[in-house]
Amino acid sequence: MKRDAPAGFSLLELMVALALFSLVAIMSLQILTGALHQRSLMERRTNESASLLRMMTLLRADLESVVPISFSPPLGGQEPAFMPADDRLALTLGGQARLNGSAQGAPDEDGFLRVIWHLDRTSGRLTRQIWPVLYPRDPAQLGPELLVIEGIEAWEITPADPADRLPDQITVTVQSSRHGQLRLVAAP
């Protein structure tokens, strides 16, 4: 008996083809999963690096804008323009533009402000707070404590003591859990 029509695939050939297709599909899925994981890892590292760059840029700008004018807290006393401490750095800054567009000639809007950097060593959070004036009348004038970066283990500020005059050079060494030791040198 002679057949004119082709016989087709045998069951064995069909099973081998399905097994090969499954193997290729599994390998493709693993490659796709790996690529997605790499992408999320790269995005996380990019965000961490961007946060670190923002922190270093902001800190450098603050250090370069220090002016030799003391700060008078609302509860009395006077603080020098450059006041480092173990977990905080307070600076008097000048030449800062105002974004809120208050009335011209307002006595509190002279372009000078007080910035306080604070390192919480237990959480690794570095924050920044602003007094919008150098002679505040009310403690409520202190702005909110804004998170700048996380993952900071320690920092060292040189010179370490406040002085009546500004130092010629300020060095801030930051120890980051992700990026290691970073050093920032600025001249006010």
* Phi, then psi, of 183 in degrees rounded to 5: -120, 135
Q: What is the DSSP string of 68-91?
A: S--B--TTS--B-SEEE-SSEEEE
Token digits for 157? 């500020």
Q: pTM, whole model, 2 decimals?
A: 0.74
pLDDT exceeds cutoff 80 at 9: no
Per the listing, tokens 């840029």 go with: 57
Report pLDDT for 108.
47
Closest C-alpha to 82, from 91, 71, 73, 70: 91
Domain spans in the chain, listed from the N-terminal domain onward = 59-186
- Rounded mean pLDDT, 4-21: 84
Tens-digit pLDDT profile for residues 53-79: 999 999 999 999 999 999 999 988 899
